[in-house]
Structure 1
Amino acid sequence: MDKKKFELQAEACKALAHPLRMEVLHLLKEREYCFAEIIEVTGGLKSNLSQHLKVMTKKGMLKVRRDGQCSHFSLSSSKVSQACELMREVLIENLQEQQKLFNKVKS
């Protein structure tokens, strides 16, 4: 088995492992945003947001287009958003299952 593909996959998952990054990906599923717009919507700090965007761009999650003084960010593929949505669904299912168990114990 080629372990390199699992290493690359793990690196891609690490690029998603921050709440602000997930928020940005959720935001960008609708349309391209300028850096200043992302700051305004997320309330992130300029330097902090810049680092997060850099990581996601380097790992291939985002594309960047420069237009004058503004950098515009978009998803590199709609599959990035689909992957995040699938993980959100798994999380919801797990929480629902935990709630069922809690209700059984509580009764």
Structure 2
Amino acid sequence: MQNKRIYGMQADICKALAHPLRMEIIHILQEKAICFTDILETTGGLKSNLSQHLKVMTASGIIKTWRDGQSSYFSLSSPKVALACHTMREVLMENLQEKQEILNKSEI
């Protein structure tokens, strides 16, 4: 029964990752903590939209946040978050390469 709870919690984290902007945020934060304004400038999104995504990511434990004066800063909660996303990207690239090879063979 406890494994079911863990699977549910794991699925919740995956849901919190399941958006292109959130993937971009993780990519941005993998090197260092960054303030909200810099994330907004880098992503080019709307302030309210970015704020909403950051709240989801913070609530799920993917990122940490703190204030310094009037600025809010964000960082990954663990380097393993970036590693997991990188691993999933590798799986994606392998799948795309495999599909491309199949397409190339069918064109012959």
Give CA-to-partner distance per residue, 1:12-38, whole Å, 9 cap, x none.
Answer: 000001100000000000111100000
Map of 1:30-49 to 2, 5 A cutoff?
30-49=31-50
Q: Could you tell me the TM-score, scaled by structure 1's length?
A: 0.98
Give 1:48 deviation, angstroms: 0.3
* Secondary structure at the counterpart of residue 15 of structure 1: helix
* Secondary structure at the counterpart of residue 66 of structure 2: strand
Give 1:44 deviation, angstroms: 1.1
Give 1:5 deviation, angstroms: 0.7
The residue type paired with residue 91 of structure 2 is V
Query: Is 1:70 matched with 2:56?
Result: no
The residue type paired with residue 23 of structure 1 is E
Map of 1:18 onto structure 2: 19
Q: Distance in 1 between matches of 2:16 and 2:65?
A: 16
Structure 1: state its 5+ residue gaps. none
The residue type paired with residue 57 of structure 1 is T
Give CA-to-partner distance per residue, 1:65-102, whole Å, 9 cap, x none.
Answer: 10011100000000000000000000000000000100
RMSD over equivalenced CA pairs, Å: 0.7
Q: Give the % identical residues.
A: 63
Map of 2:104 onto structure 1: 103
Instruction: Report how many aligned residue pairs link the two structures.
Output: 107
Map of 1:29 onto structure 2: 30
Map of 1:3 onto structure 2: 4
Query: Is 1:59 matched with 2:60?
Result: yes
Q: Distance in 1 between matches of 2:33 and 2:45?
A: 17
Q: Which runs of 4+ in 1 moved over 3 A?
A: none
Moved more, 1-10 or 57-66: 1-10
Q: Could you tell me the TM-score, scaled by structure 2's length?
A: 0.97
